[in-house]
Amino acid sequence: MATKTVLASINARPEGGVDTPENLDKLTTSTELWVRRAARMGARILAFTEVYPQLNHPGDAMFANTEPADGGSLLRAIDLARKYDVDIVWPRFEVGTDGMRNSSIYIDRHGDVLGRYYKMFPTIGEIDAGILPGDGGVCVESEYGRIGFAICFDLNFQELRDTYRPLEPDAIIFSSMYRGGVKVEFWAVDLGCYMVSSHGTELGKIVDRGGRVLKEATYELLVTAEVNLNSVQLHMDYNWGKMDEMLAKYGPQLHFDYYTPEARYVITSDTVPIGEILREYELLGLNEYWRRAKQRRLESLGQA
């Protein structure tokens, strides 16, 4: 089944904070303005920036205002997700039974928490302040597709990216205190997934599976892009010659986007589950292609 949806990125700091009930109310009110606007623009998955509720607590005050894992601003975000019928990725500092974490929390439109990702590579300063590192990539199964996460400093480390390869996310939400630059596009190309970056001021962006920037936040701090997650990025090798055969049967039900410099292309379908297309035409996925290439190298060296 086709999974068209609208990805959205909010690139703004809230008013208020989480240190007093009054500030939490201010945080909720200012956040609701963005959620309402995003919902009216059709957003289905809405990304916030790293440690969004603590952004107005500078320096060590950020860590001093770490929230309980089952309470605080999370309850307000759950209410907003329900009220506006939109999935929300809510990043924050929180503390559970094992200690403090820099987290991204996926809340679906029904208000259910589908999963949490813990920042795998906190900065040195965060670790010195007591933030515990996560173990690797996490994907949640949303009604729109498989969603993964990365947070700020994470983007610099191949170790995290490699944990996502077997998980094959449809999109990764990158919540950050720095912009990420071309690394955001690189992650999209390398993993073959959509990337949604959210930064606290501007230049958050939505990138497609081939690394093409669809939208970037500049003057307007909220950006949306309609996408179809019923799609797959493939290498041209061993796949390219099957395009006419696919078109002969499915015609305009399939769409092809070409990323020639990277020797990749993306197949999208509005009607046929993309997994069926992969199986029917025995298309070679990225991970399998790299695995075979490495295996043949070892065989040629007599090391297999």
State which residues of the chain have pLDDT below 70.
1-2
Six-digit token string for 152: 């700020």
Pairing of strands 171-176, 194-199: parallel
CA distances, 36 to each of 14, 115, 221, 222, 259 (Å): 14, 23, 14, 11, 35
User: Residue 1: its pLDDT value, please?
Assistant: 46
User: Residue 265: its pLDDT value, please?
Assistant: 95
Q: Structural domain boundaries of the chain?
A: 4-228, 232-300
User: Residue 7: its pLDDT value, please?
Assistant: 98
User: Residue 219: its pLDDT value, please?
Assistant: 87
String of DSSP letters for 269-285: ESSS-HHHHHHHTT---
Instruction: Encode pLDDT of 39-71 as tens digits.
Output: 999 999 999 999 999 999 988 899 999 999 999
Identify the CATH homologous superfamily for domain 4-228. Answer: Carbon-nitrogen hydrolase (3.60.110.10)
